[in-house]
Amino acid sequence: MKHIFSTFLKILIGLLLVLLIGAGLLLAWGAYRISQHSRQPLERWYSGAGSAQKRPIILVHGLNRSARMWAVADDGHGNGIPETISMVDFLKSRGFPNIYLNTFADTRNASLVENARILKMWIDKTKKRFNAGKVDIISHSMGALVARAYLQEMDLKDGSRVSSLSYEDDVANLVMIAAPHLGSPLADSIPSVMGWYAQRTLSEGGGPDLRRLNSLPVSCKVNFHSIIVSASPRKRQRWSPWWLLRSLVSLKAPIDGDGTVSLKSQDLEEASSFTKCKLRRHFRHSVNVRRGIRHRDAPHSPAIQREIFEILSAEGSGSGNEPRR
């Protein structure tokens, strides 16, 4: 009897070891695949003669992505998304051809302020290139937090060294697509993929830097647009290692929102206060995207692109001329 029990125990331990090794390899493979987004650096200018566009647009990507996500309508791995076009192509087709996009060197371990300083350099370059006093920013996910770090003059505290960002009143509109203002539960699921800084900052409820950002006063000179995304359930897919990894990670996904960021977390007013602004400065735009569009695909959604067109082309709405309510 002891021999049978001992054999059974050895088999059980062996199976557990195999499962652990398999899970580790799966996570490592997933981390490598996701990290490829940030290994496709891209800087590009777009311009069009005779455009009625009021201000040039800067496109700001999020975590583990690159500027390529704005220029190519695919899932980041070369797989096209049916019935979609890139944000760049959409904007150009709608009369907004003056665009700048660039790639952060690091979104996993660089702080929000470090990347906000880089964003400020992009803003200065864009103003000079197009001879403009202000720009509009369209951001996705963590990119919105980087833009907010500049607009809200977030401090960088490193031991005894304290340096601050100074907002220069050079942004008219900040459009935030599915931004995690209160973090995401998925950040706690894949720390090895996200890196220690991003994982800690984007943890559910927000890490120290995100809580610090949310405690800072907002700029009452900027129009903030929260594009709050609701996604339909995904179609059942064929089995693959990538599908398995997503399924395991999704066990901690929020029950609403786009599957990565909850509806509440996408709403800036749930994280920051606008009570000191005399005019209305925050605008909510709720968008339902079609089945198959995920968090990282949101900028390719036709519904979201149409909403952004309305924001950019509106004369009175969102101009800061409305009383706050």
Does any domain span residue 232? Answer: yes
Does any domain span residue 209? Answer: yes
Q: What is the pTM of this model?
A: 0.80
At residue 282, the pLDDT reads 95
Mean pLDDT per block of 10 residues along the chain (325 residues) reads: 66 73 54 52 84 90 92 72 88 95 92 95 97 97 97 69 76 97 81 69 90 94 95 54 48 70 95 91 91 84 95 61 37
Burial class (CB in 10 A: 0-12, 13-18, 19+), 26: middle
Q: What share of the chain is helix, strand, coil (3-state, %, to 5)?
A: 40, 15, 40
Domain containing residue 6: CATH number: 3.40.50.1820
At residue 199, the pLDDT reads 83
At residue 17, the pLDDT reads 74
What are the beta bridge partners of residue 156? 163
Q: Give me the helices (H) in the chain, please.
A: 2-35, 68-71, 87-93, 112-130, 142-151, 191-194, 196-201, 208-215, 241-249, 263-266, 302-313
Residue 81: partners with Cβ closer than 8 Å, 6 or more residues away:
73, 74, 75, 292, 293, 297, 300
Q: Give me the helices (H) in 56-173, please.
A: 68-71, 87-93, 112-130, 142-151
Residue 87 lies in domain: 2-313
At residue 316, the pLDDT reads 40
At residue 281, the pLDDT reads 93
Distance CA 244, CA 266 (A): 27
Does any domain span residue 320? Answer: no
Q: Which of 27, 24, 7, 70 is nearest to 297 (CA)?
A: 70
At residue 289, the pLDDT reads 87
At residue 314, the pLDDT reads 85
Does any domain span residue 174? Answer: yes
Domain count, the chain: 1
- Could you tell me if 218 and 167 are in contact, meaning their C-beta atoms sit under 8 angstroms apart? no
Six-digit token pair at 85? Answer: 């076009």
Does any domain span residue 321? Answer: no
At residue 8, the pLDDT reads 65
Burial class (CB in 10 A: 0-12, 13-18, 19+), 18: exposed
Does any domain span residue 116? Answer: yes
The half-sphere exposure of 213 on its side-chain side, counting CA atoms within 13 A, is: 31
At residue 77, the pLDDT reads 60
Does any domain span residue 319? Answer: no
- How many residues in the chain? 325
Does any domain span residue 322? Answer: no
